[in-house]
Amino acid sequence: MFDGISNQSVTSRDMLIQCYNALGQFPESMKLHAEAVKIAEAMNHPYSMISAYGPASSVYVMQGAVEQAISLLEHGRLLCQTHHIRHHYRDTLILLSLAYALSQRPAAALELLDEVIPHRRRIVGLFVPAFIEALFLTGRVEDALTYATESLDRYSPEHSKRLRAEIFRLLGVIHAYRNPSDVGAAESHYQQALTLAEELGMRPLQAHCHRGLGTLYQQTGQAEQARTELTTAIEMYRDMEMTFWLPEMEAALAQMG
């Protein structure tokens, strides 16, 4: 069994990449990713290579460049299986399931989620919101709600504001799209997420919150509020080159006239 230890130069870049991702500074993230991959591949060290691929794939997932993410994650998954690396395997499956779900491949995503679900209580950190979102996007809405609620209880405000902000946003999504929807709960959770995201400078999360609020207001006939939120989301997505969500937002805004 090869578990090993990632090269310190790779690990330090991984941590910086996650910080830049949260702030929406994706060019900086990709520069560090290229450096990390170059170091890991020069060493021919599988554990470090997987450590380098993971953060890069998270950049692609956050930007909506899902095919690039899938390519990296499938490679990482194969490395984990070939070298029997347990530490990153579950996390790789979570990110890959989310990428599959975003690319409209729910069957492939569900296959991976079925492998992860028995170990869901071991999921920690920023893989928690990725798991919740993958559950939601594959139609397991009630499972997503249960896990999101449990996760919010696990992480106190002192423990991780960033993680709570991500979970609040997903709870907003879930409550908006449940049948029947809970508009009040959805708006409240979006606003809580947005408040924390603004406090922490998490611009991608801010954009997602504005998109969620805009869609919610559009559905409830609050045209002016919807227009404001959708416009803000579009501007932020364009600025960060998060083009995956632009067609949907631009179509929604155009529909309103």
Could you list the mean pLDDT of each consecutive 10-residue stretch along the chain, which spans 257 residues? 58 88 93 87 80 79 92 90 84 95 96 94 91 97 96 85 96 95 97 98 98 96 96 97 95 88
Instruction: Assign residue 189 the CATH number of its domain.
Output: 1.25.40.10
162 and 69 share one domain: no
160 and 253 share one domain: yes
Is 54 inside a domain boundary? yes
Which range of residues forms the domain containing residue 223? 155-257
Q: Which of 42, 58, 87 is the last residue of a domain?
A: 87
Q: Which of 87, 113, 133 is the last residue of a domain?
A: 87
Q: Which of 87, 102, 131 is the last residue of a domain?
A: 87
177 and 254 share one domain: yes
Is 67 inside a domain boundary? yes
Quick one: pLDDT at residue 256?
Answer: 84
67 and 164 share one domain: no
Is 100 inside a domain boundary? no
Is 125 inside a domain boundary? no
Quick one: pLDDT at residue 257?
Answer: 74
Per the structure, the count of domains in the chain is: 2
169 and 74 share one domain: no
Quick one: pLDDT at residue 87?
Answer: 73
Is 2 inside a domain boundary? yes
Is 227 inside a domain boundary? yes
Spell out the SS3 assignment of the chain: CCCCCCCHHHHHHHHHHHHHHHHCCHHHHHHHHHHHHHHHHHHCCHHHHHHHHHHHHHHHHHHCCHHHHHHHHHHHHHHHHHHCCCCCHHHHHHHHHHHHHHCCCHHHHHHHHHHHHHHHHHCCCCHHHHHHHHHHHCCCHHHHHHHHHHHHHHCCCCCCHHHHHHHHHHHHHHHHHCCCCCHHHHHHHHHHHHHHHHHHCCHHHHHHHHHHHHHHHHHCCCHHHHHHHHHHHHHHHHHCCCHHHHHHHHHHHHHHC
83 and 160 share one domain: no
159 and 257 share one domain: yes
Is 94 inside a domain boundary? no
Is 13 inside a domain boundary? yes
